[in-house]
Amino acid sequence: MKPLAERLRPKTLDDYLGQTHIIGENAPLRKIIESGNMHSCVFWGPPGVGKTTLALIIANTLKRPFQVLSAINAGVKDIREAIQKAEKERFFNAPNPILFIDEIHRFSKSQQDALLGAVEKGTIILIGATTENPSFEVIPALLSRSQLYVLQPHSKQELITLVNHAIETDEFFKDLNIEVKEYETLLKFSSGDARKLLNCLELIIQSQDQKQKIKIDNEIVQKSIQQNIVKYDKLGEMHYDVISAFIKSIRGSDPNAAVYYLARMIEGGEDPLFICRRMIIAASEDIGLANPNALLLANNCFQAVHKIGMPEARIVMSQTAIYLAISAKSNAAYVAINNAQAIVRETGNLSIPLHLRNAPTKLMKELGYGDGYKYAHNFKKDQIDHGYLPDEIRDQTIYSPSDNPTENRMNKK
């Protein structure tokens, strides 16, 4: 049996939920679809707002061949094969096929470059879907040849309407006695994702006795999800728990656990660049000055993963995760900036000591700006105790080095 979300997938624009700003009556994309002159485009929006569904509706409405690639597991070879197939289908003035690429932001530059020629020639109509800002993740040459459409998150009322529609029209649920008394927890677990919402709803209904009246309220939803947490994990609910465990394993210097949770995220389809961004943060927050090279490696990991894409990128991420886990740890920089911000919020804009002020004009010099400043490089070891903090906090300690070889050497110096 198909999942509920698949059974209820809309087939026409009139059945489509939301996004009236682009496909409502007289909206720009709807006009283009109805004219039959479709162009390459990129759909940008959060998960579960209907990017894939809209691409399918466009293909069905225009009666065009439809090919699908997922950027999670497709490579340059798959792209070339899809383009070759599209070229073979263009006999006898047949309409241009639509190539839909889900999560196009995960494609490396070389993978996106492979699409350019076919898009320019009109061999394919490209529809890319992304949850990330395309101006950062889609190469300019490809983005300039595509129209960008921003899909908005579903409103609370739209999601409630979807729940009621599912109960009233689904072939398996419409004959059951189902009453939804409360929606809040159901909507909370779905996080605005329509696909996840329907999967949740199906899970909850299936967990109850379908021969009796099925009541859905906040307590029942909470209980059903907790009892089926492994099954629900596939819907993405554990997204934040797994990334939390990953970071805490790095912080706790456990490379085995770090790589395990990394694998959990990769197998679950997590965005590799999201993982890389978290490792960059960990490199500063948890390792910091104990091993400054950690930040360099984490940043290079992000760049490498962005360039080469999956599946090879997983090797780079594994190397980086292990390195971060086995590095010496220090949160001194993290604590220091927190301390400094707390002092600023408490004391406001304290007066800058006169000898540290810039003096670009004669008047400023006459007022004492810069007077008495001592150039540190003129002194032994390029250091001088000169009173750099404002007078009111000059005795405050903001940065306290952690006990590790690197910071100990710095502190001694």
Whole-Å CA distances, 78 to 127, 316, 318, 343, 410 = 16, 22, 25, 56, 52
Give the DSSP letter of residue 311. Answer: T
DSSP state at residue 309: -
pLDDT at 230: 44
- Closest by CA to 64, choosing from 53, 74, 56, is 56
Q: Are residues 123 and 228 in the same domain?
A: no
Q: Sign of the C-alpha dihedral, residues 111, 117, 120, 125?
A: negative
- Residues 29 and 132 reside in one and the same domain: yes
Residue 137 sits in the same domain as residue 202: no
For residues 281 and 53, what is the distance between their CA atoms, to the nearest angstrom?
A: 35
Specify the number of domains making up the chain. Answer: 4
Q: Domain range spanning residue 264?
A: 239-326
Q: Do 141 and 173 contact (CB within 8 A), yes or no?
A: no
Task: Using alpha carbons, list the distances in angstroms from residue 99 to 55, 96, 119.
Answer: 9, 9, 10
CA gap 253, 322 in Å, rounded = 9
Q: Of 117, 135, 150, at which residue does a domain stop?
A: 150
pLDDT attached to residue 315: 94
pLDDT digits (tens, 9 = 90+) for 22-50: 999 889 999 999 998 899 999 999 888 99
CATH number, residue 31? 3.40.50.300
Q: Is residue 139 part of a domain?
A: yes
On whether both 30 and 124 belong to a single domain, the answer is: yes
Which residue, of 218, 233, 248, is where some domain finishes?
A: 233
Q: Are residues 312 and 406 in the same domain?
A: no
Strand partners, 340: none
Examine residue 1 and state whether it is found in any structural domain, yes or no: no
Cα torsion 13, 14, 16, 17: sign: positive
Please list the ranges in the chain whose pLDDT falls under 50: 229-237
Q: What backbone phi and psi angles, to 5 degrees, belong to 98?
A: -100, 125
Nearest alpha carbon to residue 138 among 153, 123, 148? 148
The C-alpha atoms of residue 379 and residue 173 are separated, in whole angstroms, by 82
375 within a domain of the structure (yes/no): yes
186 shares a domain with 75: no
Residue 285 belongs to domain with CATH number: 1.20.272.10
| SS3 state of residue 373 | coil
DSSP category for residue 413: -
State the pTM of this model.
Answer: 0.59
| Residue at 2 is within a domain | no
Residue 238, pLDDT score: 55
Determine what percent of the chain falls in helix, strand and coil, rounding each to the nearest 5.
Answer: 55, 5, 35
251 and 215 in a common domain: no
Contacts of 304 (CB under 8 A, 6+ apart): 313, 316
The vertex-307 CA angle with 305 and 309, nearest 5°, equals 55
Contact 402, 334 (CB under 8 A): no
- Whether 160 is in a domain gets the answer yes
10, part of any domain: no
Q: Where are the alpha helices (DSSP H) in 181-292?
A: 184-190, 194-206, 218-227, 229-233, 239-251, 255-267, 272-282
22 and 146 co-located in one domain:
yes
Provide the CATH number for the domain around residue 193: 1.10.8
Q: Of 203, 233, 263, which residue constitutes the final position of a domain?
A: 233
- Same domain membership, residue 176 and residue 229: yes
* Residue 7 domain-assigned (yes or no): no
Cβ partners under 8 Å of residue 320, min gap 6: 276, 279, 297, 298, 301
Residue 248: its pLDDT value, please?
Answer: 92
Q: Indicate whether 281 belongs to any domain.
A: yes
Is 287 within 8 Å of 324 (Cβ atoms)? yes
* Same domain flag for 272 and 196: no
Based on the domain organization, do 87 and 118 belong to the same domain? yes
Query: Are 138 and 93 in the same domain?
Result: yes
CB 49 within 8 A of CB 154: yes
The amino acid sitting at 22 is I
